A and B are shown apart, each in its own frame.
Chain A
């Protein structure tokens, strides 16, 4: 039971990211593939910091038009009206449907921003060589990965409102440009989470005696 806690990498073993098989890539840095499933073998996800930073910054830029531009345009005989994501939440707020308004607010505004802040925090602490609260940081990463998909909610809401309210010339709804930017934020943050390698959090403590 007195086994020293060693990472697979420290022993020269790479765990396949697809099937989990441990194997020893040949020395010399030639491209190695998992003998069981054929996936490219890496000790750590390639260029994890660079890719994740690039995706986080791109998502942060798209987050601005996603929230400022309208996602829905409603046409009635009385005129046209546009709604941004936040206006959609406010409109949903009523004595009976306020719980749903909170869900939409959390999914569309809090989760994407929280995800970007969490990833930036993980990147900065790992790059500065922090050794503190590793367990909490891995837990944060798992939570971000698990909850992140739910920010797609507003894209689906807008899609089905547009599909249903088609009663020309009485009333109809068209999607606004904001929904494209918002969908971009969701996709980029999901890819960013996958390009970050949580094992990097532990690599520094591995070198400790």
Chain B
């Protein structure tokens, strides 16, 4: 299969300014930036797929724990209430704020689960290239959902809520709170080690066809450490 227009030809267009460029050799850990608008184009990541597999596996386990054990408790005048992430969704739904409940359900539960689930499946499937096109669909889903996965923002929100409530009652931090705290770093690391370009290179094309002719001399990105 011809790859003239693919990443293998090291030809790419900047997503922020569309400048056509050819990647020079990039050392591991270094990043190539657009020659015109300085947007990062590609970082050479060592061992990307294996590290992503390890981190996404760990994230999947923690995500499961975080959503099954209590996150926050409240004790006032001998009465206690506990809530999980899903408890927050239910409270909003019960009080008639269905749209907000759905938004919290999506950004705090569904999107993180899809983010981890899609990526885990993708890196597992990529172990035997070329992977079938459905792997590409999952990878597309991962990229789409990433922006809406807001565990780190939710955790800060919980912290603010906790401090507001602390004046009124005794707050009991639950196990899920600490698991979520770890998960924030794990998800950030997972996104940082994953190289989508490498992943796409290993996926079978939906319509394998002729690639366009190489345009020859084009701009060269700047490489930064």
Contact = CB atoms under 8 A, between A and B. Distances in A.
A110 interface: no
Interface of B: 5-7, 11-13, 15-20, 35-39, 72, 74, 76-77, 79, 81, 83, 87-92, 95, 97, 99-100, 103-104, 107-108, 133, 136-137, 139-140, 143, 147-148, 150, 153-154, 156-165, 168-169, 196-197, 200, 203, 205-209, 211-212, 215, 217-220
B17 A22 contact: no
Interface in A96-137: 97, 100, 103-104, 134-135
Interface string A7-23: 11101110101111111
B161 A160 contact: yes
Sort chain A's interface into a size bin: 35 or more
B147 A157 contact: no
Nearest to B144: A18
A44 to B, nearest CB: 8
A104 B18 CA distance: 36
A159 B77 contact: no
A146 to B, nearest CB: 10
A15 B19 contact: no
22 contacts: A3-B218, A6-B20, A6-B215, A7-B20, A13-B212, A22-B5, A22-B11, A33-B207, A135-B38, A138-B38, A139-B38, A157-B160, A159-B157, A160-B161, A162-B91, A162-B95, A163-B90, A165-B169, A167-B74, A167-B76, A174-B95, A202-B36
Nearest to B22: A3
DSSP majority for the B interface? mixed
A80 interface: no
B206 A35 contact: yes
B219 A3 contact: yes
Interface of A: 1-3, 5-9, 11-13, 15, 17-24, 33-39, 88, 91-92, 97, 100, 103-104, 134-135, 138-139, 141-142, 149-150, 152-167, 170-171, 174-175, 179-180, 183-184, 187, 190, 194, 198-199, 201-203
B97 A179 contact: yes
